[in-house]
Chains A and B, each alone.
Chain A
Amino acid sequence: MAFRPETAKPLNELAEILLRGPSPLSPGERELIATYVSSRNDCFFCQTIHGAVAAYHFGGNEQLVLDVKESAEGAPISDKLKALLAIAGAVQRGGKNVQPSDIERARRLGATDLEIHDTVLIAAAFCMYNRYVDGLATWAPREPEAYRDSGARLAREGYVESTNGLAASATGNAS
């Protein structure tokens, strides 16, 4: 992100709107979708940081995040969120895997067009973020504890704030 501020800007704005912008889904629910997809893409950094943000939104409930990653259907979450996570899992494998029956199930449990749209785009976007992070073999701390504070800060301040910090440090490095 600091290497290329020009691409960091839209990447962070997209995360901000999708995960924290106005939406009928709570920020915690959206972070769970991001974490679930990142877990299925085996991206350690993304699943750990977004898992920490999700846990923060659910009152520090880290067990809930682990439950969702292990089995979305068995986790103590709403039936609607389970249906949306099933759609996200299909998108992770490939867009064409989303079946009309997946959409019908989500609708039956109360999901709106906007919620279905945002679920698909969050899942698709994390297929990008995960590949971006792992494709350049970026370094990441291995201890989950290291992510707790960053997760709380992201939950409170958002993704664009972090861009501004990066842009400032990139400018500082250049001068």
Chain B
Amino acid sequence: MPHIRVPEGLPGIRGLFAFRPETAIPLSELAQVLLHDEGTLTPGERELIATYVSSRNDCFYCQTAHGAIAAHHLGGDEAIVQEVKRDFEHTAISPKLKALLAIAGKVQHSSKDVQPENIERARREGATDREIHDTVLVAAAFCMYNRYVDGLATWSPTDLGGFRERAASVARDGYVGVLGYIKAAQADR
């Protein structure tokens, strides 16, 4: 049971967004810019970084939701998402993405763990300043979203079918585009 009374039937962060729409807006805009809007990293790559960090933070809802979105962007390849979570260094992804995931893993534990050689490796594999910046911020942001979702003990479904459906909507409409339910929840209050 969640620690606070959130609207029923809305899992994970969606219940919290409906509880506090004022903070839902910038939180969704940040996800939109980082994960969905144009960038030199593909949405699939960025969702993999989000999924990896959420997995290391042991946040079931976030790693399952963003894992499903990553898989959707990667042509439905759910196996690659599982492999990245288990051992990304030996997964069939680009050397650049491996270097960025290594940085994300450091940030997840503590940003002071990020060493110059982690950055040098990413640069050597072709990462730009903006890609390194965005990797650090995606990892940092999921250290927030994960704590928000688990710190208030939100409810999560375990059935993957619902996550797949939601992933298709988010991949199509973006994070700001799927906020309509907040207005519905406000009207119900």
Binding site for B on A (CB under 8 A): 3-4, 6-7, 9-11, 13-14, 17-18, 21, 41-42, 87, 90-91, 94-96, 98, 100, 103, 113-114, 116-118, 120-121, 123-125, 127-137
Contacts and interface: CB of A to CB of B under 8 A. Distances in A.
Interface string B131-171: 01110110111011111111111000000000000000000
20 contacts: A3-B133, A9-B29, A10-B30, A41-B110, A42-B112, A90-B151, A91-B147, A94-B58, A95-B59, A95-B148, A98-B150, A117-B19, A117-B20, A120-B3, A121-B148, A124-B146, A124-B148, A128-B141, A134-B111, A134-B114
Nearest to B29: A10
B33 A6 contact: yes
Nearest to B146: A95
B13 to A, nearest CB: 11
Given A117-B152, A132-B136, A127 B143 contact: yes
A10 B27 contact: yes
B33 A135 contact: no
Contacts of B23: 14, 17-18, 121
Contact of A98 (B19, B106, B107, B151): B151
B26 A17 contact: yes
A135 B136 contact: yes
Interface residues of B, number: 47
Contacts, number: 133
Contacts of B117: none
A131 B111 contact: yes
A83 B22 CA distance: 24
Contacts of B137: 4, 7, 132
Q: Which of B27, B130, B141 has the most CB of A within 10 A?
A: B141
B57 A94 contact: yes
B99 interface: no
A53 to B, nearest CB: 19
Contacts of A133: 111
Nearest to B132: A136
B26 A13 contact: yes
A134 B106 CA distance: 11
A13 B25 contact: yes
A130 B111 CA distance: 8
A144 B166 CA distance: 47
Nearest to B16: A117
Contacts of B145: 124
A146 B102 CA distance: 35
